[in-house]
Amino acid sequence: MDHYIIRGKRRLSGELTVQGAKNSLLPVLAAVVLTDGKSLIRNAPDLTDTESAVCILRELGCSVVRQGRDLLIDPSNLSSAEISPTLCRSMRSSVVFLGPLLARCQKAVLSLPGGCRLGERPIDLHLAGLTKMGAEILWEDDRLICTAPAGLKGAEITMPFPSVGATENLMMAAALAKGTTLLTGCAKEPEIVDLAAFLNRCGARIEGSGSTVMRITGADRLSGCAYSIMGDRIAAMTYLIAAAMTGGDLTLRGIDPRHLAQPLQKLSGTGKILSVGKDFCRIAGTVPPKSIPMIATGPYPAFPTDCLPLFLSLAAVSQGTSVFWERVFENRYASCGDLAKMGAVIYRSERAAAIRGSHLHGAAVSAQDLRGGAGLVLAALAAEGTTTVSNIAWIERGYERFCETLSDLGAEIRKE
Ligand code: EPZ
């Protein structure tokens, strides 16, 4: 059960309410550690990464029950501040339990996180900020022993790069720290705003989320709450591009198109008919897409790095040559080798790539990371013939019922 078999050239059309956002849910689940009462987290996508985060919460002593699309969590029996190496390595988001555990328990014991192999992905910005808040960091073999015997205290922290994960760790740590924390140069992603909204509903005092300066006034305690996770903007782009590449007509609900301004602008530039409303996006058009002159990724609101592998596949079937420049991670082009096996014409140099559109044909390919794997599925949907995509565990970390959803929209896809 670890590969998809896809027969291409089927049009994807219909209506879809997009899953809850993985990259909002995971930090919100970590934030539950800060609270002392039950929380009901709604629109929680059923992903392998969700399962990993639930296992971490249970390992820490919290109770977690899934009720349909919701997770009911009770952290009142939190009894440990240590996450096992296996669970730490299961995903990148294990690292965002560091701040909440330090703030709640004055201690945290973790290993380096796992996650997509996009480059070195250090955690120096996380540790530097927590140290400024009074944490003491010790490495023992490959275990990170963090303590804050006098408790965390507010600090003025300037981030040299708007790291999403480091921003999440620091805002969660600051939510229970003594005094006020000023985070300058922090990440502005919509998922950061969602996390701040959850924390404020629990009684935190976070101002400025979504801007480059956040002010967080530490609270004495935080209660639980009911909260609905925002729609997944990267999953949304994945399905919109699937329709664009197969000449379909798809309406996506449950997302705020403003969160996708850059990728939607690039998508409409391909000549597809794109209409947006308050909480929906529709794409239509049977004419093959035109190429994209330039896509440069960057921290929000720039073009999101997670969408680059998706647009590589779109470019591979577009008319003309598209140019890409990746400015966030060192290794965002892991899917290019397999795209070339399918007939894509790709010129690579370090963080840049140029793709001349061509006709793709089926092949045996293998996912190397989450979004690169999704990109290979997109290419298979538009290719002549049959494609086998292996290593789909990478893909199912971030896409809920991916095979069923694509099949419901008209794709000929099965899992074996
Ligand atoms: C989050 O990863 C997302 N993951 C990623 O999505 C996303 O690509 C990334 O943000 C950028 O938007 C989750 O939210 C779970 P960063 P994160 O810290 O927090 C460097 C997906 O497909 N850096 O903003 O790890 C780092 O090496 C995933 O859903 C440091 O140097 O991203 C990278 O070059 C993939 N030191 C850059 O910053 C640090 O301490 C951006 O990393 C931290 C980061």
Using an 8 Å Cβ cutoff, are 126 and 148 in contact?
no
- Output the pLDDT for position 142: 87
Sheet containing strand 295-296, strands side by side? 295-296, 321-325, 352-356, 345-349
Looking at the CA of residue 125, tell me the nearest atom of ligand 1.
40
For residue 133, the 8-state DSSP code is T
Q: Which residue is catalytic, options 116, 225, 307, 403? A: 116
Q: State the average pLDDT over residues 109-121.
A: 91
Query: Which atom of ligand 1 is nearest to 187's Cα?
Result: 24
Average confidence (pLDDT) over 61-66: 98
| Ligand 1 pocket residue status of 15, Cβ below 6 Å | no
**What are the two backbone dihedrals, phi and then psi, of residue 273, each rounded to the nearest 5 degrees?**
-85, 115
Nearest to 368 by CA among 119, 6, 105, 151: 119
Mean pLDDT of 310-330: 98
Residue 213: per-residue pLDDT: 98
- Pairing state between β 273-276 and 250-253: unpaired
Q: How far apart are CA 345 and CA 26, in angstroms?
A: 36
Q: What is the pLDDT of residue 296?
A: 98
In tens, the pLDDT along 161-210 reads 999 999 999 999 999 999 999 999 999 999 999 999 999 999 999 999 99
Torsion sign (Cα): 376, 382, 387, 388: positive
Q: Active-site residue 225, yes or no?
A: no
For residue 112, which amino acid is it? Answer: L
C-alpha of residue 384 to centroid of ligand 1, in Å:
35
Q: Report which protein residue has its CA nearest ligand 1's atom 27.
A: 121
What is the rounded distance in angstroms from the CA atom of residue 330 to the CA atom of residue 350?
8
- Our answer on whether the CB atom of 24 is closer than 6 Å to any ligand 1 atom is no
- Ligand 1 centroid vs 59 CA: distance in angstroms? 25
Q: How far apart are CA 286 and CA 411, in angstroms?
A: 16
Q: Are 61 and 77 in contact (CB under 8 A)?
A: yes
What average pLDDT does the segment 292-297 reach?
97
Q: What is the pLDDT of residue 405?
A: 98
Closest residue by Cα to residue 33 from 59, 13, 7: 59
Q: Read off the DSSP letter of residue 77.
A: T
Which one of 96, 127, 164 would you pick to mutate in the ligand 1 pocket, going by the greatest count of ligand atoms within 8 A of its CB? 164
Mean pLDDT value across residues 218-241: 98
Secondary structure (DSSP) of 135-186? -EEEEETTEEEEE-TT--B--EEE-SS--HHHHHHHHHHHHTSBSEEEEES-
* 149 CA → ligand 1 middle, Å: 29
pLDDT of residue 194: 98
* CB distance 164 to ligand 1 below 6 Å: yes
Q: What is the pLDDT of residues 350-394, one digit of tens each?
A: 999 999 999 999 999 999 999 999 999 999 999 999 999 999 999
Instruction: Name the residue among 371, 380, 385, 388 with its Cα closest to residue 406.
Output: 380
In the chain, DSSP finds a helix count (H) and a strand count (E) of: 14, 23
The closest of 331, 332, 313, 334 to 322, measured between CA atoms, is: 313
Residues present in the chain in total = 416
Whether 122 lines ligand 1, by a CB cut-off of 6 Å, is: yes
Report the atom number in ligand 1 closest to the C-alpha of 164: 24
Cβ of 126 closer than 6 Å to ligand 1, yes or no, is yes
Catalogue all structural domains in the chain, each as residue range(s) with its CATH number: 3-18+232-415 (3.65.10.10), 22-228 (3.65.10.10)
At 208 the pLDDT is 98
Residue 160 has pLDDT above 70, yes or no: yes
Supply the pLDDT for residue 8.
Answer: 98
Summary mean pLDDT of the chain: 97
Averaged over 340-351, what is the pLDDT?
97
pLDDT band at 399 (very low <50, low <70, confident <90, very high): very high
Q: Looking at ligand 1, which atom is closest to the CA of residue 161? A: 38
Contact 45, 19 (CB under 8 A): yes
Answer yes or no: is the C-beta of 332 below 6 A from any ligand 1 atom. no
Residue 140 pairs in a beta bridge with 143
Atom 29, ligand 1: which residue's CA is nearest?
23
Is the shortest distance between the CB of 121 and ligand 1 below 6 Å? yes
For residue 28, the model assigns a pLDDT of 98
User: What pLDDT is recorded for position 164?
Assistant: 98
**With bands split at pLDDT 50, 70 and 90, how would you rate the model's confidence at 1?**
low
pTM over 0.95: yes
Q: What distance in Å separates the CA atoms of residue 65 and residue 63, rounded to the nearest whole number?
A: 7
